[in-house]
A and B are shown apart, each in its own frame.
Chain A
């Protein structure tokens, strides 16, 4: 292994060892968690807005 690869051990190791798939999986899980929390917040706000509309009538 050359000096640059030793210095920057991520290069080559990332794909050679299959760690890229782990990173992809973790990123997808974080995205799914973010999407779920935004979706739940969206629905709750929808209910609050509905209640506010009912109040004002």
Chain B
């Protein structure tokens, strides 16, 4: 019975991760506007092309009349006419008024199937005077249409397709937290009982957790390169993650340096308790009090309705369980290996 349960959760973790990989890479991204061409406009009638990424927001046979585009300057809307529509772009004609509250124009594209697409600071009008938009140029209140999006991941500016990395990067850190927490408990128990069994558990947890910590750093660095344009930025969250991994590396160095010394278990346990407290401070407390590019910082929760939608949750939660179970499997293997080694050495 126990063997059956063991293979059930181990196999389950692999099946969950297979589901995450297939679902994560095959789910389309909701459409989102990325650019307006030209972005510098003059006070005259002219045409602008708005381009989107993600799944198509229009069919090739759709009529332009079904779509609506308005440009917003301050709190006033400027009317446009939709000339052409293609699956990933829309061409509009717009008369730029001589005066407007702001020279920066935001674009809103209302689509029948994909809802409202938004692009902030889509265009700029250098020569426009400061003032209200003349009544002849003002658009009527648009009627947003309810989107009929299927199973798709939310579009986030800058992140775009790389939102799929959420299914790798974040669950890997969760798994690391989980297993380092186990190591922390094992070290406390080791200090209380002075039992080598708890020491072996703590060592196995730190070794496994470090693997996931390094994977978390690697996937985070890749993500940073794509969204922020640099492999590493000096940020409290990123630096805290690196320091945490280095701290736990110190745990292994300490053990290796002490060799067969009888005190290694207790000293390593004290170090591990200290390292876990530092992990909580560096990754969960300090970044919340500082400004950061990393989501969930500056006092905001990590995941909210803006970051996640139900489609993403349907893949993200299995990813958390799958990576967590895989991490625990690796931990049990490392622990059993430690026990076998101890048994052989003590014969």
A42-57 vs B, Cβ < 8 Å mask (1 yes, 0 no)? 1001001100100100
Contact of B161 among A3, A4, A10, A35 (CB under 8 A): A10
Contact indicator A20/B160 (Cβ below 8 Å): no
The bracket for how many chain A residues form the interface is 20 to 34
Interface check B281, CB cutoff 8 A:
no
B162-176 vs A, Cβ < 8 Å mask (1 yes, 0 no)? 000000000000000
Contact indicator A38/B160 (Cβ below 8 Å): no
Main secondary structure of the interface of A (DSSP, over half): helix
Give the chain A neighbours of B10 by CB distance below 8 A: 38-39, 42
Contact indicator B37/A2 (Cβ below 8 Å): yes
Complex Cα distance, B35 from A3, in Å, reads 8
Q: A5-B53, A24-B21, A24-B25 are in contact. Are A38 and B333 (CB under 8 A)?
A: yes
Interface check B14, CB cutoff 8 A:
yes
A27 to chain B, nearest CB (A): 5
Complex Cα distance, B11 from A42, in Å, reads 12
Give the chain A neighbours of B145 by CB distance below 8 A: none
Which chain A residues in 1-49 approach chain B with CB under 8 Å?
Answer: 2-5, 8, 10-12, 14-15, 20-21, 23-24, 27-28, 31, 35, 38-39, 41-42, 45, 48-49
Q: A14-B161, A52-B340 are in contact. Are A31 and B330 (CB under 8 A)?
A: no
Contact of A28 among B18, B160, B161 (CB under 8 A): B18
Residue of B nearest to A52 (CB): B343
Q: A10-B161, A52-B343, A55-B347 are in contact. Are A28 and B22 (CB under 8 A)?
A: yes
Count of A-B residue pairs with CB < 8 Å: 62
Contact of B53 among A12, A38, A42, A55 (CB under 8 A): A12
Contact indicator A48/B340 (Cβ below 8 Å): yes
Give the chain A neighbours of B333 by CB distance below 8 A: 38, 41-42, 45
B residues neighboring A (CB under 8 Å): 10, 14, 17-18, 21-22, 25-26, 28, 34-35, 37, 51, 53, 160-161, 226, 329-330, 333, 336-337, 339-340, 343, 347
Complex Cα distance, B10 from A41, in Å, reads 13
Query: Which 6 A-B pairs rank lowest in CB-CB distance, beginning with the nearest?
Result: A2-B35, A24-B25, A35-B14, A45-B336, A27-B21, A2-B51
Complex Cα distance, B336 from A49, in Å, reads 8
Residue of B nearest to A1 (CB): B51
Give the chain B neighbours of A12 by CB distance below 8 A: 53
Q: A2-B35, A4-B35, A28-B21 are in contact. Are A15 and B337 (CB under 8 A)?
A: no
Contacts A11-B160, A27-B25, A45-B336 aside, 9 further interface pairs with beta carbons under 8 A come to: A3-B35, A5-B53, A14-B161, A15-B161, A20-B25, A21-B26, A23-B25, A45-B340, A48-B340
Complex Cα distance, B22 from A19, in Å, reads 13
Q: A2-B51, A31-B17 are in contact. Are A20 and B26 (CB under 8 A)?
A: yes
Offer 17 A-B interface pairs, CB within 8 angstroms, sorted by A. Answer: A2-B35, A2-B51, A8-B160, A11-B34, A14-B161, A15-B28, A21-B26, A24-B26, A27-B21, A28-B22, A31-B14, A31-B18, A41-B333, A45-B333, A49-B336, A52-B340, A55-B343
Complex Cα distance, B28 from A39, in Å, reads 33
Contact of A4 among B34, B330, B347 (CB under 8 A): B34
Residue of A nearest to B347 (CB): A55
Residue of A nearest to B55 (CB): A15
